Amino acid sequence: MAKKKRRHFIKLNNKIKELFHGAPFEEGITTLGDDTLTELALLLDLRLEDLERDSIIRALRRVWSDGDYAVRKTIVEYLRGIGRKRRSPRGKTADRVETILATVADETLDRDEEEALLAAFADTPLQKITEAKVKAKLRYLRLQRRLARLEEALEAEISPEGELRFSHPFVFRFAGEEFVKHLLVRAQLGDFDLRNEPDDARVLEHLEALKREAIARKEREIEDFLESLANNRYLGVEEIVAHLKRLPPEGDLIHNPIDYLIVERIVKSIVPKAETMVAGEQFFIEKSKTLELYGHPLPYRLRLTYERNFIYASIWENRPLPLKEDFAALAESTREHFFVALQTLRERMEELARDLDVEESVFEAFILRFLEPQLLASGSLKIKEKTKRRILYHFGEYIRPMREKKMREELLAKTIRDFKRLFPLARRLHRTITFHVGPTNSGKTYAAMERLKRAETGYYLAPLRLLALEGYEDLRDSGIAASLITGEEEILDEESTHISSTIEMLNPEVEVDVCVIDEIQMIADRDRGWAWANALIGAPAREVILTGSENALEAIREVCDYLGEELRIVRFERKNPLELLP
């Protein structure tokens, strides 16, 4: 049904272009007279502030753009009726013929030239037919006819790029075999301009000379090529002859395609365990390797990519294929890049586990656990970003209890007096704190969430599980990979960049760009206020956004003064009036 509807719309659009000489409705409507525009507006019963020309055109464009089929059909039928009233097709055709022939009255045209000229301007609007265009088209038609005569006499093709192309039989003699191949020959016309030489006989004489020179060059090229094949290291005599007989007419000698099985044999003679594949215009040559990592063998594959013409030319020209050298260089660079990436990953893990007693075998086990399946699946010696994130995430979860235990021990051992120092990561970030102050339904939380969505990483901290779930769904609906963490439920996405959680579940060890702390006035709550205080003081984000009511402002100012961090206040007004029910 939808396809049928689209076909109807396409037909209407095509009819409009016919009526407006190829122009779309939006442009063609501007060519109509004021009376026609007014009649059309009245016919469609358009509601207009005035009957000014510009107002009517805007209204008609809007109606056409809205896409109602019935309205469009009414417009087309009306305009077609207007067109029939103006003039008949017979008069239009007569005007066109008279105009075209009048512009070339000083020329002598034969019947074929006259018909070709009229056909060339059959679809051109009459007002766009000028003397310059008609005479230029006549010169072009005559040049094409002349070229056709010359090509027929030469048995060759003259391309627009100034190249003479023709087929010619050449004799191939190799190893006692003799056969004939018709090959495409090319010759450049150079500075020779057919248009400046009116004498066809002289033109033919020149082009025949070019043909003879091109044939002689091709014969010398074939002779030299056949001599070079005498001691080819890759191909036997029978294989050479068979391939030469299959040489395409337009083919290049040194790029003559070679059977895949022969290429595969040649590759294996150089690199015995290599595998050869062909796709499109390229050869892929692969070799299996094994890397010993932490005493564990990891398989991977090296792949070399060559243009098919490079392989063919190397074989025909008897040049050594650099497969061993290229594999050695590729293996070295691949291992080098892999170990640099591995070292970077290891340093990041060590940074996460700083000051913790984590054994060497633990680092190795986490890396192997996720890296080995990736290498087996891809066959490439690379550490994907997805794999890095998995390793760091699970390693972080592994050391979290260890870090929490260490922090508790340090608290007990040192009797820390300054509470803000319990969150060293937050202190290092030099945070900015923004307080969205306003009543309910003022848009303060919405603005904070929009800023959170634009950040690359972030937290949303809610007072209730249901609010955390709403934040999680809002982030997911906006196309953001997010995780949900509450005391009752966890929905973890290893690809997540944002976390929505209840306030108590904040992880002060995971750095993000933006953290939104909702309902900050709860900091005064007797039972749960500690969680908002911890979040305000310890949220590990470069930008912290608080949302809450006016009565929390003084407490927030005091906390920010204690932290020595800048506080920016953004006030919001209620969107709708607050009224009591009767």
541-548 sheet: strands from edge to edge: 490-491, 482-485, 498-502, 458-462, 512-517, 541-548, 432-437, 566-571
Q: How many CB atoms lie within 10 A of CB 509?
A: 17
Within 353-428, where are the H helices? 360-378, 385-414, 424-428
Q: In terms of residues, how long is the chain?
A: 582
- Please, are residues 287 and 273 in contact by the beta-carbon 8 Å criterion? yes
Q: Which long-range contacts (CB under 8 A, 24 or more apart) does 225-232 make?
A: 225/253, 225/254, 225/316, 226/172, 226/173, 226/174, 228/317, 228/318, 229/174, 229/316, 229/318, 231/318, 232/315, 232/316, 232/318
Instruction: Output the CA–CA distances (angstroms, integers) from residue 264 to 259, 273, 276, 283, 308, in the order listed.
Output: 9, 11, 6, 10, 13
- Residue pLDDT tens, the chain, 582 long: 444 456 667 777 778 788 887 788 888 888 888 777 877 777 777 777 667 788 888 888 888 887 677 888 888 887 877 654 444 444 445 566 777 878 777 878 888 878 888 888 877 787 788 888 888 888 888 888 888 888 888 888 888 788 889 999 999 999 888 999 999 999 888 777 777 777 788 888 888 999 999 999 999 999 999 999 988 999 999 999 999 999 999 889 999 999 999 999 999 999 999 999 999 999 999 999 998 988 889 899 999 999 999 999 999 999 999 999 999 999 999 999 999 999 999 999 999 988 888 899 999 999 999 998 998 888 889 999 999 999 999 999 999 998 888 887 676 555 445 788 888 899 999 899 999 999 888 889 999 999 999 999 999 999 999 999 999 999 999 999 999 999 888 999 888 999 999 999 999 999 999 999 999 999 999 889 999 999 999 999 999 999 999 999 999 999 999 899 999 999 998 877 777 788
Tokens at residue 361, please? 């075998």
pLDDT at residue 1, as a whole number: 44
- 3-state DSSP assignment of residue 63: helix
Residue the block writes with tokens 């009224």: 579
- 3-state DSSP assignment of residue 209: helix
pLDDT tens digit string along 17-40?
A: 888 877 888 888 888 887 778 777
- Please, are residues 109 and 45 in contact by the beta-carbon 8 Å criterion? no
Return the exposure string of 188-206: e unless at least 16 CB atoms fall within 10 Å of the residue's CB, then b: ebeeeebeeeeeeeebeee
Tokens at residue 335, please? 């291992």
Tell me the three-class secondary structure of 129-181, residue by residue: CCHHHHHHHHHHHHHHHHHHHHHHHHCCEECCCCEEEEEEEEEEEECCEEEEE
Q: Which residues contact 118 (CB under 8 A, 6 or more apart)?
A: 96, 97, 100
Instruction: Output the CA–CA distances (angstroms, integers) from residue 186 to 148, 183, 225, in the order listed.
Output: 18, 10, 18
DSSP E strand stretches across 244-281: 275-279
Q: How many CB atoms lie within 10 A of CB 160?
A: 6
pLDDT at residue 287, as a whole number: 93
- Please, are residues 167 and 217 in contact by the beta-carbon 8 Å criterion? no
Q: What are phi and psi of 158, to 5 degrees?
A: -110, 110
Q: Which residues contact 23 (CB under 8 A, 6 or more apart)?
A: 17, 31
| Distance in angstroms (rounded) separating the CA atoms of residues 120 and 472 | 65
- 3-state DSSP assignment of residue 437: strand
Closest CA relative to residue 371, chosen from 482, 294, 481, 287: 294
| Distance in angstroms (rounded) separating the CA atoms of residues 416 and 535 | 18
| Distance in angstroms (rounded) separating the CA atoms of residues 151 and 204 | 9
Tokens at residue 101, please? 């022939």
Q: How far is CA 153 from the centre of its chain?
A: 50
Question: Which amino acid, one-letter code, is at 341?
Answer: A
pLDDT at residue 67, as a whole number: 66
Residue 89 pairs with which residues in a beta bridge?
Answer: none
- 3-state DSSP assignment of residue 531: helix
Mutual angle of helices 131-154 and 89-103, in 10-degree steps? 70
DSSP E strand stretches across 175-274: 177-188
pLDDT tens digit string along 141-180?
A: 888 888 888 888 888 888 878 888 999 999 999 988 899 9
Instruction: Output the CA–CA distances (angstroms, integers) from residue 418 to 211, 293, 423, in the order listed.
Output: 96, 45, 10
pLDDT at residue 2, as a whole number: 47
- Please, are residues 367 and 390 in contact by the beta-carbon 8 Å criterion? no
pLDDT at residue 414, as a whole number: 55
- Please, are residues 29 and 44 in contact by the beta-carbon 8 Å criterion? no
Closest CA relative to residue 103, chosen from 88, 119, 114, 87: 114
Closest CA relative to residue 469, chosen from 441, 493, 450, 491: 491
| Distance in angstroms (rounded) separating the CA atoms of residues 420 and 555 | 16
Q: Which residues contact 441 (CB under 8 A, 6 or more apart)?
A: 574, 575, 576
Tell me the Cα Rg of the chain. Answer: 40
- 3-state DSSP assignment of residue 408: helix
Mutual angle of helices 308-316 and 260-270, in 10-degree steps? 70
| Distance in angstroms (rounded) separating the CA atoms of residues 466 and 458 | 19
Sign (positive or negative) of CA dihedral 309, 315, 320, 323: positive
| Distance in angstroms (rounded) separating the CA atoms of residues 536 and 560 | 9
| Distance in angstroms (rounded) separating the CA atoms of residues 45 and 42 | 5
